[in-house]
Structure 1
Amino acid sequence: QDQAELILEGPHTSASQSEERKKTTKEREEGEEEGDVFQDSEPELDEEKGEDVSAESAGKVEDDGKKRHKGEAGESTKSENPPPLAPFDHRIVTPKPHQIATYYTINRDEVLGGGRFGQVHKCMENSSGLTLAAKIIKARSQKEKEVVRNEIQVMNQLNHANLIQLYAAFESRHDIILVMEYVEGGELFDRIIDENYNLTELDTVLFIRQICEGLQYMHKMYILHLDLKPENILCVSRATNKIKIIDFGLARRYKPREKLRVNFGTPEFLAPEVINYEFVSFPTDMWSLGVITYMLLSGLSPFLGDDDNETLNNILACQWNFEEEEFTDISDEAKDFITRLLVKSKSWRMSAAESLRHPWLSDRSLHYRLNQKVILTGQHI
């Protein structure tokens, strides 16, 4: 099996680039590309059991290329209730060939986000005054349009409070516009790099538990996200720990009797099986969750090298550790949680359901201790 050329999202870095590159990864949103998907029809082996895990011990190699993302001060409101539902019932959306301006007013000056696809703008439904978000995706060829139709089909199947909801879609010659639930709190990524926002371990528990709940639902629906990263997780508001997973542009339906390979992604979050062009499944998303957890707790990127090649090699060698000072006060339960996700052999990683049962996410007495620590250290309002 020849390894496919990996299509990476974002600019390729080199060791000669400035120290600023190590402080933020926001730049990787530009120049992103779409990869191809390949499926071979053959029965799949049971992925829950049986691979040799002897080589999966976490590497203890020092990595000077790790990024600093961590802030110093600030606070948030903690609550264990789910985020609010979308302000509309779940819909089955079919792209309309009409002009979107007939029904919606898009604020072209207010950009909510962007990436490989184009930009997201705030918009309003003319008939109801409802505030929504319009994701404008450049799609000229039939192949590009099929990719967006896949995103619509995936979103039509997903009805969960932690997953962004689709309201309408419009197709023209040069683009497809997805009209979605509006979420105002910004990317989780921004909380990691915000120097005025101190992300406590308890904050991270609340964030990760919601991501797990969204993933558990997706996986029950046999859908893989395949592009989980802090930029694709939105905060419902600046004041709370409520989140919604977004961007299903690379999501795929998992068919047990078909082998699915993908060759796209953002280097820091890629699972080893993606780099090796091996079969992907539910555990592929769980690896990315492990990377996100590591980043939220420390502000560091566990596999980041001086360039993409070094990053990919660190992932393949499963080289990461808790030796940085940022992990000094992190609980053993948190470290165990990460250790059970960043496992090279995908069949040995925790599932979303197992993650939700792990003590770090489920032990109330631990959460009480973490909250007391927040109060004692003066990080509480």
Structure 2
Amino acid sequence: MENFLRDKDVWIVGSVCLVASFLWRQFWSLFTHKRKRDKSTGSTSVHTEFKEKDGVEKPKVCLKGLKSQKKKKPPDVADAVQADLEEVQKLNQQNAELSHGNTESVASAAELLDLIRDEQEPQVEKEREKEKEVLKAVEEKEEDKDFLAEFKLDKRVEAQREISKEEEKEKIEKTEELSVPEVPPLLTPPCEISESSAVYQESSEENVDLTGSAKRRVTDENLEKDDLKKSRVEERSEEVEKSEEEEKPEVDSAEVGPEEPEEEIKEGEPTAEEYTIDCSPPPPAPFEHRVVTSKTHQIATYYTINRDEVLGGGRFGMVHKCVEKSSGLTLAAKIIKTRSQKEKEVVKSEIEVMNQLNHANLIQLYAAYESRYDITLIMEYVEGGELFDRIIDENYKLTELDTVLFIRQITEGLQYMHKMYILHLDLKPENILCVSRETNKIKIIDFGLARRYKPREKLRVNFGTPEFLAPEVINYEFVSFPTDMWSLGVITYMLLSSLSPFLGDDDNETLNNILECKWSFEEAEFADISDEAKDFITRLLVKSKSWRMSASQSLKHPWLSDRALHYRLHQKKNKCHSTRAPVPES
């Protein structure tokens, strides 16, 4: 019996220990769960979430959050556990009295523990939900504050817009009262006022300013000025179109005259005191531009060269008139003697230069044939003769206006060559041909001394005609585009006076005169020459090449571009400025 009681006591004690350990585990899990929840949703999280922009905490919001958490704190779990333990002890005593009720006591204890769990879990969930609601309420309050601030700003903006609209309406009414009687009804239809007011209102609504009405007044005035300017421009354009339509005469297609006067009117419509010179280019070559290579075929099989008719000549050889057998085209054959390989290379470089030049004022190359002792260049045929012949011709009346036409065309040809980075380096009246004896159209020829300009490769030359050489050529210095412009100045001087500015008794004296830059307008031949022509020469015959006019600048000079000056020169066109020309008959 005693052994039985001992085993029973051991059994009871063991069961009590098991229940106590189970309760202790439950209590510890609840305690740790609460600590974790406090860490995740406690006061520190509230403080970090609700901070101002500058990093300073908001004490009021944080205190409210803490108070709400303290008020809604769940009941103490430890007290409840102690009460449960007392009840368990009582039950254990009863079980000691009734040995067969041990299993029931354990079951009842387990049921009690389950009840405690079921009661505590909804409380924890409710607490979590309440905390979330608190956080949402705080966030909503902040959003409400921002919304109220924006709402107030919107109200202010709308109020200011209404005020600006009222002011604009008053100003528009005033402008209508002032402007409507002054403007004639034909030029300003009533729809323009409404359109301008609509544009005005739209621009004012876009440019709302919160600082005051001073800026609005400035923008209003500027908009009114812009509207007035636009209306005036439209009125002027309508008047111009009407006047042009009235001025156009109704002419039948059969009665249409030559096109030249119409082109002059389109180019500038000169007034009574202006004169437009004929700036049209000379007739082009009778064939398209070609890229030529020298051939070794017999030239006689393709061309008939009239060796008795000489068109020109010089140190290179002779130029003859020729005809192509297949087409009957009249051309010019320039026969160049080439006894050495070096001379052949010089002629081939001339061919390469001419292949790159495609301009109406530059002679065009048609073909090239190479033999053992010469190379023949077949070129465009020009029958007007050399410009030098007109300078020395006593029967030709060369006026200053004619000189303007000649120099302008030469300058246009040089401008094209310089754009192609090619220097002529032998520009003189003998190398300028007239297209015909009736017109003043010219073409530049003889590119035997022409060189391609390469900025990195400094070019020096020691050739040319002494009268037209630039100082840098004589000093064997680097040559460039201004070298050709010096020669243009010399040609201009000669055309206006039929005198050479630097010509001496021999070549040495001529070269010294060039180096000293000795020239003047003291001769009697310049008595009637215009000041613009003298200024044109003065800007070209400059010893320092960097100070000379370029081809583009020369074309803009008044002597070549001023129509009023050309009108004055046209009025005295019968007066010849060459001493070798005859005096006009009375």
Asked if these proteins are the same fold (TM beyond 0.5), I'd say: yes
Local SS of the residue matching 1:176? strand
Q: TM-score, normalised by structure 1?
A: 0.78
- Residue 225 of structure 1 aligns with an amino acid whose one-letter code is H
Unmatched runs of 5 consecutive residues or more in structure 1: 1-77
Query: Aligned letter for 1:323?
Result: E
- Which of 171, 177, 198 is matched with 2:376 structurally? 177
Letter of the 1:131 partner, please give it. Answer: T
AA matched with 1:260: L
Inter-partner Cα distance in structure 2 for 1:235 and 1:335: 25
Paired residue for 1:292?
A: 491
1:147-186 aligned within 5 A: 147-186=346-385
Unmatched runs of 5 consecutive residues or more in structure 2: 1-276, 577-582
Q: CA deviation at 1:358?
A: 0.3
Rounded Cα–Cα distance in structure 1 between residues aligned with 2:573 and 2:438: 17
SS in 2 for 1:110: strand
Counterpart of 1:195? 394
* Structure 2 SS opposite 1:258: coil
Q: Distance in 1 between matches of 2:584 and 2:565?
A: 18
Taking only aligned residues, the RMSD between alpha carbons, in angstroms, comes to 1.3
Separation (CA, whole Å) in 2 of partners of 1:204 and 1:178: 31
Distance 1:363 1:84 in 2: 25
1:344 equivalent in alignment to 2:543:
yes
1:90 maps to amino acid: H
1:370 alignment partner in structure 2: 569
| Secondary structure in structure 2 of the residue aligned to 1:260 | coil
> If you compute each CA radius of gyration, which structure gives the higher value, 1 or 2?
2
254, 264, 272: which one aligns with 2:463: 264
Contact 2:304 2:323 (8 Å CA) reproduced? yes
In the alignment, what sits opposite 2:518?
A: 319
How far 1:234 sits from its partner (Å)?
Answer: 0.1
Q: Report the CA distance between 1:81 and its aligned residue.
A: 1.6
Amino acid at match of 2:467: E
Give the helix-richer structure, 1 or 2.
Answer: 2
Residue type of the alignment partner of 2:386: E
Q: Contact conserved, 1:224 with 1:281, CA < 8 A, in 2?
A: yes
Write the letter of the residue equivalent to 1:333: E
SS at match of 2:520: coil
Q: Deviations over 1:32-66 (max 9, x none)?
A: xxxxxxxxxxxxxxxxxxxxxxxxxxxxxxxxxxx
For the 8 Å contact 1:290–1:338, the answer to whether it is kept is yes
What residue is the counterpart of 1:73 in the other structure? Answer: none
For 1:301, give the aligned amino acid: S
Equivalent residues in 2 for 1:1-381, closer than 5 Å: 79-375=278-574
Shift of the 103–308 alpha-carbon distance from structure 1 to 2, 3 Å rule, reads same
Cα 1:375–1:310 shift into 2, 3 Å:
closer
The residue identity in structure 1 corresponding to 2:484 is D
Q: How far apart, CA to CA, are the structure 2 residues paired with 1:345 and 1:288?
A: 14
Distance in 2 between residues matched to 1:168 and 1:371, nearest whole Å: 42
Counterpart of 2:162 in structure 1 is: none
Question: Structure 2 vs 1, CA of residues 379 and 91 (structure 1 numbering), >3 Å: closer, same or farther?
Answer: farther
| Structure 1 or 2: more strand by fraction | 1
Structure 1 distance, partners of 2:450, 2:279, is 27
Q: Using the TM superposition, give the Cα deviation of residue 332 of structure 1 relative to its aligned residue in structure 2, in angstroms.
A: 0.2
Deviation at 1:79, TM superposition (A): 3.4
**What amino acid maps onto 1:247 in structure 2?**
D
Task: Say whether the 8 Å CA contact 1:83–1:242 is kept in structure 2.
Answer: yes
Counterparts of 2:326 and 2:466 in 1: how far apart (Å)? 43
Q: Structure 1 residues 376 and 141 mapped into 2: Cα distance closer, same or farther (>3 Å)?
A: closer
For residues 292-347 of structure 1, give each alpha carbon's deviation from its aligned partner in whole angstroms, at most 9, with x where no partner exists: 00000000000000110000000000000000000000000000000000000000
Is the 1:79–1:240 contact (alpha carbons within 8 Å) kept by the matching residues of 2?
A: no
- TM-score where L is the length of structure 2: 0.51
Q: 1:27 matched to which residue of 2?
A: none
